[in-house]
Structure 1
Amino acid sequence: MDQLITFVQNHPGLFVALAVVVVLLVANEIHGNLAGGKRLTALEAVRFINDRDPVIIDLRNAADFKRGHLLNAVNAPFAKFDEYVGQFRDKTRPVLLYCALGTMGSSVAEKLRKQGYAEVYPLRGGINAWLMNSLPVTVK
């Protein structure tokens, strides 16, 4: 404990920077949960897909989608999402959203909820989290 106090006294700038980063990370998580509702981890998403048969929407661009995506996913790029939303008519069916890093899913989830979709869940960490858990993707 004495070493920590000495470090803080000798390096106040680093300690303040660490505190700011921690506060921003916590604020980001809180904002994501408030704005985008519950976000599923990759392993929760596997169970969700197996149990609930959701509509799976890939928010990445078409080139990234062709390189690999979740099985049965529909590509609806984030930049043009409003053009694609009409494809998803059944508002009672659950929806799983994902992008590359998990940053865009919350805003699209909020938009879909406002349009009356009952259950919308972004994938925390996006397809990168999916791949880091060694889960399969397809190119078909």
Structure 2
Amino acid sequence: MEFLQQNWYWAALAAASGSWLLVDLARGRGGNGQLSPVEATMLINREDAVVIDVRDQGEYAQGHIPNARHIPAGDLERRGGELDKWKHHPLILCCATGTRSTSAATQLRKAGFEKVYNLRGGMMEWQKAGQPVSRKRK
């Protein structure tokens, strides 16, 4: 107890740091299906997750995650049947910043897809993390 009284500032710093980590962990993994670029890569490699890029054609052509399937967010309802074969596979949705893909992920969950994740921060975070980008069509 004497140690804490003499070093209260270090204890406070440790408590604040621990709290920050817990908040970040809860925000990132709290059941909301958000994945960091590294977590997405691990899911692709370990569980053969399928990446669905929901950006428009021009954005997709500028660069996308290798092997990503392109289904623009506006076409998702009409083309959702193309995804039925992956209904029980992990799906990772991405867009430019993570906003459109969050809505698309919600739409797919409502359609009965079991393992739907959103790439937190979208292609912006993917590229910032130094992950590979492809310009090939899929």
TM normalised by structure 2 equals 0.73
Instruction: Look up the match of 2:81.
Output: 86
Give, in whole Å, the separation in 2 of the partners of 1:106 and 1:128.
Answer: 15
Instruction: Look up the match of 2:110.
Output: 114
Instruction: Look up the match of 1:95.
Output: 91
> Which residue of 51, 65, 70 corresponds with 1:70?
65
Alpha-carbon displacement from aligned partner over 1:1-31 (angstroms, at most 9, x marks no partner): xxxxxxxxxxxxxxxxxxxxxxxxx9xx97x
1:57 to 2:52 alignment: yes
Give, in whole Å, the separation in 1 of the partners of 2:61 and 2:102.
Answer: 23
Q: Which runs of 5+ in 2 are unaligned?
A: 1-22
Give, in whole Å, the separation in 2 of the partners of 1:83 and 1:115.
Answer: 12
Instruction: Extract structure 1 runs of 4+ deviating beyond 2 A.
Output: none
Equivalent runs, 1:41-56 vs 2, <5 Å: 41-56=36-51
Following superposition, the deviation at residue 80 of structure 1 comes to 2.1
Percent identity over the alignment is: 37
Amino acid at match of 1:100: A
Give, in whole Å, the separation in 2 of the partners of 1:107 and 1:64.
Answer: 18
TM normalised by structure 1 equals 0.72
Instruction: Look up the match of 1:126.
Output: 122
Alpha-carbon displacement from aligned partner over 1:33-87 (angstroms, at most 9, x marks no partner): 67xx220001111111111111210010011111111111011111222122110
Give, in whole Å, the separation in 2 of the partners of 1:84 and 1:69.
Answer: 19
What is the SS of the residue equivalent to 2:98? coil
What is the SS of the residue equivalent to 2:34? coil
